[in-house]
């Protein structure tokens, strides 16, 4: 069975600084996809970034990038130049056949 | 609309009442998912539809939970004889296709409180 682990329940970062949110996973499938979502207090899950297991390069989307280390089974999200609006819950997820399995999430607070 | 729409946004039910939660996916999206999110936790998979066919309902916690998508678009999650442990946010998501790189697009959820 697949498993997603997010070990940081809460993180603080100062505005304009970079922050890394950790995610490790466990799977026996050679082909898999990893996703990061943001959930602000409004409740909606917002898709941020995707990394495929066979992708040659780390994924990037604007200020978001993935530090993908396949041998270590980690897919950490890096947010550069943090903004106050980045304060939210962040979830790492892995596709299991068709659905996504989510980790418990990390709460990020960006301070002025 | 452009996104996944869920209604109602909030629902308060007395224990034992039946509730129905509605999900309107993005137009043309074949796949539809329901998730349950308890406070402080990540979303947990409940059930999956491909068009009108319910292909997986392994995550439904009990036989009091029932989901349908009769015409392959709008879906309803019904909970019969609600219990306090059913209190959670229920999230609906859709995707155009199902593949490794296809993200799920989520609605704002319905927050159910059972008193």
pLDDT per residue of chain A (112 residues) written in tens, 0 to 9: 679 999 999 999 999 999 999 999 999 888 899 999 999 998 999 999 999 999 989 999 999 999 999 999 999 999 999 999 999 999 999 988 888 999 999 999 999 9
Q: Which two tokens stand for residue A92?
A: 């790492």
Q: Which two tokens stand for residue A31?
A: 């082909």
Q: Which of B31, B41, B101 sits opposite A50 (nearest CB)?
A: B101
Cα(A97)–Cα(B99) distance, rounded to whole angstroms? 8
Cα(B59)–Cα(B55) distance, rounded to whole angstroms? 12
Cα(A73)–Cα(A16) distance, rounded to whole angstroms? 29
| B109 neighbourhood in chain A, CB within 8 Å | 43-44
| Residue that has been written with the tokens 């939210």 in this structure | A88
Residue A109 contacts residue A89 (beta carbons within 8 Å): no
Q: How would you list the strands of the sheet with B5-7, edge to edge?
A: B5-7, B19-24, B75-79, B65-68
Cα B74 to Cα B7, B25, B26: the distances in Å are 11, 6, 10
Residue B73 contacts A where some CB pair is shorter than 8 Å: no
Q: What is the tally of helices (H) and strands (E) in chain B?
A: 0, 11
Question: In angstroms, how far is CA B112 from the centroid of its own chain?
Answer: 12
| B38 neighbourhood in chain A, CB within 8 Å | none
Q: Is A100 exposed, middle or buried (0-12, 13-18, 19+ CB in 10 A)?
A: buried
- For A88, which DSSP code? E
Cross-chain residue pair B48–A99, CB shorter than 8 Å = yes
For B28-39, the pLDDT digits (tens) are 999 999 999 999
Q: Write down the pLDDT at residue B100.
A: 67
In terms of Cα–Cα distance, which of B62, B56, B64, B12 is closest to B34? B56
Q: Write down the pLDDT at residue A96.
A: 82
Q: Write down the pLDDT at residue A10.
A: 94
Residue A74 contacts residue A6 (beta carbons within 8 Å): no
- For B85, which DSSP code? G
Name the range with the highest mean pLDDT among A26-35, B69-78, B89-98: B69-78
Cα(A65)–Cα(B75) distance, rounded to whole angstroms? 34
Q: How many CA atoms lie within 13 A of A44 on its CB side?
A: 12
Q: Write down the pLDDT at residue A2.
A: 76
How many A/B residue pairs have CB atoms within 8 Å? 57
Task: Kindly state the average pLDDT of the residues B58-63.
Answer: 96
Residue B19: pLDDT over 80: yes
Task: Kindly state the average pLDDT of the residues B51-68.
Answer: 96
| B39 neighbourhood in chain A, CB within 8 Å | none
């Amino acid at each position: 069975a697949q498993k997603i682990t997010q070990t940081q329940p809460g993180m603080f970062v100062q505005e304009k600084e970079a922050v890394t949110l950790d995610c490790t996973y466990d799977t026996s499938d050679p082909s898999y996809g990893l996703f990061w979502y943001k959930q602000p207090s409004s409740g909606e899950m917002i898709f941020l970034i995707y990394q495929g297991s066979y992708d040659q390069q780390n994924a990037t989307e604007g200020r978001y990038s993935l530090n993908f280390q396949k041998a270590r089974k980690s897919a950490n999200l890096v947010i550069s130049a943090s903004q106050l609006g980045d304060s939210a819950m962040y979830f790492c997820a892995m596709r299991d056949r068709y659905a996504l399995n989510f980790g418990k999430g990390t709460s990020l607070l960006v301070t002025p | 609309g452009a996104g996944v729409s869920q209604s109602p946004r909030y629902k308060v039910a007395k224990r034992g009442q039946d509730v129905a939660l509605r999900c309107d996916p993005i137009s043309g999206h074949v796949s539809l998912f329901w998730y349950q999110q308890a406070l402080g936790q990540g979303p947990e998979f409940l059930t999956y539809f491909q068009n009108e066919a319910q292909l997986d309902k392994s995550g439904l916690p009990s036989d009091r939970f029932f989901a349908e998508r009769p015409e392959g678009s709008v879906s309803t999650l019904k909970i019969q004889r609600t219990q306090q442990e059913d209190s959670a946010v229920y999230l609906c998501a859709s995707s155009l296709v199902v593949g490794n790189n296809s993200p799920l697009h989520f609605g704002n959820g319905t927050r159910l409180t059972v008193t």
